[in-house]
Amino acid sequence: MEDRRETPLIRLPCLEERLRLPHVYAKCEMGNPTGTHKDRIAGGLVLAAIRDGAAGVTAGSCGNLGVALSRASRARGLPCTVFVPIRYHHTRSEEMTGLGAVVIAQGDNYEAAVRASRSFARKRRLFDANPVGRGGRIAILAYGAIVDELMAQCPVPLGSIWLPVGNGTCAAGVHARLRHHGVEVRIGVVGSAGNTALTASLASGRLVELDAARLLETEVNEPLVNWSSFHAREAMDAVLGTGGHFCDATDEQLVLASDGMFRHAGLRVSPAGAAGLVGLRAFASQLDRASAHVVVLTG
């Protein structure tokens, strides 16, 4: 079933000159089948469901995981149900239904969609593909492949990896794989200003949850918004344990990062998917010039 290939690593000379760093690259997760890094985890989640003899698979999603899971489920002939937040703008629901999934709009935010999906899984004996429990462990393991590819692709040793964050699952997976290889690489993460529990936790020095009623979801920041990051603890370890960095980005900064990727490198990436670039720019002066610095463009 799995026709996913390793995603391209592209050098960014335009940024090298501006940031005064000689080795800057973009890891282009847009090259995955449904256009985001979520394809890396969908196949493993579906295979786990099949091994369990589950009648189907379900997850809550703001869009990208839902499409990736729908595609992987169709390839294996497994029913898929995706719960999406009612008020989100870019849930990719039409793509999911086109791939044969059932899409249910429920809850005002991402966490509410996940709760609805988890309840549905228990009642229907479906595989819970949400990024918690077993589903989360599968996702963390699968995201480690990003590191394997980077180590093979990058012509100089890695110095830092920059990621957008919501739940922190991808950051946790990258960190786990770096430790497996025994290499020291800084991990930088970027959330949405005032809307990401993980970066709020890093700023506070402890795990915190945000007031869901005060979050501001927009068409730009939706993939980064949550009041409770499911893998906040592991992602905090990833940043703090590697001497990495974190920051938040405004919608304007996210849009500028996306526009810059297209204007200077011809890469089409969503504003949220380009969030790592905001962090790289902010901390460039603190990075080692002899190493490679990679922005993971997640979709």
43-81, pLDDT tens digit by residue? 999 999 999 999 999 999 999 999 999 999 999 999 999
Residues above pLDDT 90, as percent of the chain: 96
pLDDT at 2 over 60: no
> Which pLDDT value is given to residue 87?
86
On whether residue 1 sits in a domain, the answer given is no
pLDDT at 1 over 50: no
Please give the single-letter amino acid code of residue 171: A
Q: Are residues 162 and 81 in the same domain?
A: no
Distance CA 129, CA 105 (A): 17
Q: Are residues 65 and 18 in the same domain?
A: no
pLDDT at 4 over 70: no
> Which pLDDT value is given to residue 91?
87
Q: Are residues 149 and 226 in the same domain?
A: yes
Distance CA 134, CA 63 (A): 21
Q: Which residues form the domain of 156? A: 9-36+139-297
Across the chain, what does the average pLDDT equal? 96
Single out the residue in 120, 138, 156 at which a domain terminates.
Answer: 138
Q: At what angle do helices 133-143 and 145-153 cross, to 10 degrees?
A: 0
Give the model confidence (pLDDT) of 115-137 as tens digits: 999 999 999 999 999 999 999 99
Asked whether the CA dihedral 7, 243, 138, 70 is positive or negative, the reply is negative
Mean per-residue pLDDT, 94-100: 97
Q: Are residues 27 and 172 in the same domain?
A: yes
- pTM, full prediction: 0.95
pLDDT at 32 over 60: yes
pLDDT at 247 over 60: yes
On whether residue 3 sits in a domain, the answer given is no
pLDDT at 3 over 70: no
Residues 6+ apart with CB under 8 A from 59: 45, 65, 66, 69, 82, 83, 114, 117, 128, 129, 130, 135
